[in-house]
Chains A and B, each alone.
Chain A
Amino acid sequence: MALLSKKDTSLILDPLTDNNPITIQVLGICSALAITAELKASIVMAISVLFVLGVGNVVISLMRNIIPSKIRIIVQLIVVAALVIIVDQVLKAFAYELSKTLSVFVGLIITNCIIMGRFEAFALGNGPWKSFLDGIGNAAGYGVILVIVGFFRELLGSGTLMGYKVLGDPIAKTGLYSIGYENNGFMLLSPMALIVVGIIIWVQRSRNRALIEEN
């Protein structure tokens, strides 16, 4: 028997394309705007969310039958917050450098609506294995968009990728800058992230017309 059934595979792959959390479910937009000025930050955030959503989904799924429905949102919040704090403390003790890079994101993970959204929509009604796959899939779908947005914002805004000057030096006027190219400072500001996300949504929906909602 294959490790992943056809349904399991679609749990992972759908969020990457036709059921993407950012472009289709419109979850997690806030962090997509806030931290995508640099590619490195986007990647770190994507990995952190992958971990928290994967584990959190499993925990919530295991507890799904005993959580009182009246306080389920609070219980979900506590689970995310506890996970995030544990991750933060462990990183501070064993990977201090990394924990400093992560500092802002750790707080942002708690407020990331993808996490609450997936707990509510999936983990509360499905078993742990399926919930784990759903968590990984959605976090990956989120990560892909983050990396795409981060790539364009850092490249066009600062002329660098992962901190490396790929287009030449803007002050010494080498590379592209020697023929008059300038960085677009607008790309570093959050509204441009929204526009980049908008362009991704546009491209995705014009390739697959079934995704266009009817009003």
Chain B
Amino acid sequence: MAFNTEKNTYTVVFAAIMVVVVGSLLAFVASGLSGKIRENERFEKQQNILYAMGVNENQDEGSVNFVPTTEVEKEFASYIKKQIVIEGDKVTEDNEAYLIDMKRQLEVAKSGGTPKLPLFIGEKDGKEFYIIPMYGKGLWDAIWGFISLDDQMVVQGVYFDHKGETPGLGANIKQRYFMDDFTGETIMKGTQYAGISVAKGNNDPLNKIKDDNEVDALAGATITGNGVSAMISETVKLYKGYLQTIKDKG
């Protein structure tokens, strides 16, 4: 080699070139693929919303299969009748409401502002579903999901997902046996909006009791489970006003 690789100037020049080369390579890859990635994320949101209202391609009792990405846009348009944004007392329709970032809105709510809360009204077999997006914290990172309610505040379906919960433990919140437990539970405790907690000692592993506001927890995933409970109750709290008007009507 013609260079003396031990010299300080060489080291600095090498580092500078390396940074430029690697940096531009990564920027090139990221910007080249960002359109495709954003589209995938949009489809995924639509799939999740449809999943929560029971529009999916589940085959057996363990599978979680979404509507295929090629058809999701069509299906979304046909099942979701209305997308609304609730801002304080003001309710507006917005066909891009599903793209609203719940994380930002929760921060707004926490700092005392008026959040823009998206809600999706779906219709399947003549029945109306009210689907609410949720966002919260698990053990390692973010967790989020969608919960669909009927006009009596009984859960019709949920979908949970997470960024980085432990595989085999907290990551199991997106398994069928956990999500299916929520179906049929009510978020009401008497006349109060209570949410549903993930409880360790609820002594109901088969989930036969539907009015206890509790589902059976996952072994070894206490913090993730608590995160799910907190996520549901925090979200329900924000939507309380609007949900009451639905309940009064129904």
Chain A residues packing against B (C-beta within 8 Å): 34-35, 37-38, 41, 65-71, 74-75, 78, 82, 85-86, 89-90, 92-94, 96, 103-104, 107, 153-154, 157-158, 163-164, 171, 185, 188-189
Take A66-B5, A68-B14, A71-B11 as given contacts and tell me if A92 and B40 are in contact as well, using a CB distance cutoff of 8 Å.
yes
A71 to B169 Cα, complex, angstroms: 39
A158 to B172 Cα, complex, angstroms: 12
Tell me if B11 and A37 are in contact (CB < 8 A): no
Tell me if B168 and A188 are in contact (CB < 8 A): yes
A127 to B105 Cα, complex, angstroms: 54
Majority DSSP secondary structure for residues of A touching B: helix
- B216 vs chain A, min Cβ distance (A): 9
- A48 vs chain B, min Cβ distance (A): 13
A164 to B166 Cα, complex, angstroms: 19
Take A92-B40, A163-B62 as given contacts and tell me if A37 and B5 are in contact as well, using a CB distance cutoff of 8 Å.
no
- B196 vs chain A, min Cβ distance (A): 20
Take A92-B40, A154-B168 as given contacts and tell me if A86 and B220 are in contact as well, using a CB distance cutoff of 8 Å.
no
Say which one of B28-36, B111-119, B122-130 lies at the interface with A: B28-36
Q: Which of B130-176 contact A (CB under 8 A)?
A: 140, 163-164, 166-169
A73 to B140 Cα, complex, angstroms: 28
- B232 vs chain A, min Cβ distance (A): 22
The 4 nearest A-B residue pairs measured at CB: A37-B168, A93-B33, A93-B36, A41-B167
- A63 vs chain B, min Cβ distance (A): 9
Complex interface: chain B residues within 8 A of A66 (CB): 1, 3, 5, 14
| Contact partner, A75, options B18, B167, B206, Cβ 8 Å | B18
Tell me if A71 and B15 are in contact (CB < 8 A): yes
Complex interface: chain A residues within 8 A of B206 (CB): 171
Interface size class, chain B = 20 to 34
Complex interface: chain A residues within 8 A of B3 (CB): 66
Complex interface: chain B residues within 8 A of A65 (CB): 1, 5
Query: What's the count of A-B pairs with C-beta under 8 Å?
Result: 83
Take A66-B3, A154-B168 as given contacts and tell me if A93 and B26 are in contact as well, using a CB distance cutoff of 8 Å.
no
Tell me if A189 and B1 are in contact (CB < 8 A): no
A94 to B33 Cα, complex, angstroms: 9
Tell me if B220 and A89 are in contact (CB < 8 A): no
Given contacts A65-B1, A188-B219, 9 further A-B pairs with CB under 8 A are: A65-B5, A66-B5, A70-B6, A75-B14, A75-B18, A78-B22, A103-B164, A171-B205, A188-B168
Tell me if A185 and B168 are in contact (CB < 8 A): no
Tell me if B169 and A188 are in contact (CB < 8 A): yes
| Contact partner, A69, options B6, B140, B166, Cβ 8 Å | B6
Tell me if B44 and A82 are in contact (CB < 8 A): no
B1, B3, B30, B163: most-surrounded residue (chain A CB, <10 A): B30
- B69 vs chain A, min Cβ distance (A): 8
A107 to B3 Cα, complex, angstroms: 35
A157 to B11 Cα, complex, angstroms: 51
Complex interface: chain A residues within 8 A of B29 (CB): 85-86, 89-90
Tell me if B164 and A104 are in contact (CB < 8 A): yes
| Contact partner, B37, options A70, A89, A188, Cβ 8 Å | A89
- A98 vs chain B, min Cβ distance (A): 11
Tell me if B5 and A68 are in contact (CB < 8 A): yes
| Contact partner, A188, options B6, B36, B220, Cβ 8 Å | B220
- B158 vs chain A, min Cβ distance (A): 18
A74, A75, A92: most-surrounded residue (chain B CB, <10 A): A92
